[in-house]
Structure 1
């Protein structure tokens, strides 16, 4: 057994965009040596003015409590990016180290897109680990730089002992129909060329690493079928 490798993966749906039937989600990785690694933290408790599209459900703190974990039990928070539906509860994890792409953290400092959530993601720098590009966080947990949706977005590859490799695309490929080598007409992407490059990168990784399961960030039909906390993948 790899004593500091990955043991299990929990999936959590913590909210939604009701109009579009889009799930808002987080993930928890547990390691053999007892580490709890949260990937994203969902929506803020109180939505900023003008953010009426989102609806909180059973939030990340309540879901973690249901398996006996308090916010201070989380050792690491992987920030895929600082959008409101991904970093809304970051400040609750008072003992965690935050891991984010350097490019993203630098961009967020002056990007109005992330200003409303600044109190959550703008943590003391001695608690933020800035990474540059693809990074093995620990054995069985790899961060994959996938810019496009935002500069410095990151997806996550989790290698589970029984399931095998699981790719969390997050917002690099939020919906299954976008996971293709074909050209996509996506007007919502601020950088279509980078989005396409990141999609191809993840497709190549899926083939090369023989990924057993690809979990898309906001694919409602898929999320309805997945195991969710308290169930887990191992």
Structure 2
């Protein structure tokens, strides 16, 4: 019997944070058995006042429509974490299973950081799969637990047939300049040690797996040069 395999990775910029000139992004993975797996959902349709430094662009629902997909065509949403620029359209995908780290979901239930966007991420538990630590979702799609930015943050490893292993650190390492053993040491994050540990974990994974492409989640210079939907990596 043939196993499911990843065949395609789309990148979508759905908004920005103009003050810092950074893109707000999400991703779509397609498999050879026609499963559509969304990684994050970008900004909410209406941005609350406390998140007014974000600006919407063409949102994820519109971008998916441009390649013929409706929200109900999404089988799974991999939620890397519940920050408002990563989970703002979760509630649009009513047929999808949500996959999130157990640690993160439990923390979010009482963490004021995630209150404004709770109507999006707080879905019925029969549709949320809580995972613990590094997890292979299916052949070619792996979740990497990378706490630090928030408890239970997860990065994603996608194994593509032509491009090869492609790493999405998301907010574990949002900028390429910080992808080093000495990166992100600005003293602003109370969990700086966990951030460093997750960065080293991803560096070691990149070296061990000989990963040729690392796509940083908010790196404007890199994003300007990447293929974006309707183009894709295969």
TM band (smaller chain): over 0.9
Report the 3-state secondary structure (helix = DSSP H, G, I; strand = E; otherwise coil) of the residue aligned with 1:116: coil
Q: Which runs of 5+ in 1 are unaligned?
A: none
Give the CA deviation at 1:188.
3.6
Q: How many residues align?
A: 234
TM-score normalised by the chain length of structure 1: 0.98
RMSD, aligned α-carbons: 1.1
Q: Which residue of 2 aligns with 1:153?
A: 153
Greater than 6 Å deviation, 4+ residue runs: none
Describe the shift of the 1:208–1:9 C-alpha distance in structure 2 as closer, same or farther (beyond 3 A).
same
Describe the shift of the 1:14–1:188 C-alpha distance in structure 2 as closer, same or farther (beyond 3 A).
farther
Q: Which residue of 2 aligns with 1:15?
A: 15
Give the CA deviation at 1:19.
1.1
Q: Which residue of 2 aligns with 1:186?
A: 186
Report the 3-state secondary structure (helix = DSSP H, G, I; strand = E; otherwise coil) of the residue aligned with 2:116: helix
**Pairs within 5 Å for 1:60-209:** 60-182=60-182, 184-209=184-209
Give the CA deviation at 1:52.
1.2
TM-score normalised by the chain length of structure 2: 0.98
The superposition leaves residues 79-112 of structure 1 with CA deviations (integer Å, 9 ceiling, x where unpaired) of 0000000000000001000000000000000000
Describe the shift of the 1:191–1:2 C-alpha distance in structure 2 as closer, same or farther (beyond 3 A).
farther
Give me the whole-angstrom Cα distance separating, in 1, the residues matched to 2:76 and 2:199: 26
Maintained 8 Å contact 1:7/1:32: yes
Maintained 8 Å contact 2:155/2:168: yes
The superposition leaves residues 48-93 of structure 1 with CA deviations (integer Å, 9 ceiling, x where unpaired) of 1221100000100000000000000000000000000000000000
Report the 3-state secondary structure (helix = DSSP H, G, I; strand = E; otherwise coil) of the residue aligned with 2:197: helix
Maintained 8 Å contact 1:149/1:190: no
Maintained 8 Å contact 1:100/1:128: yes
Report the 3-state secondary structure (helix = DSSP H, G, I; strand = E; otherwise coil) of the residue aligned with 1:199: helix
Give me the whole-angstrom Cα distance separating, in 1, the residues matched to 2:138 and 2:148: 25
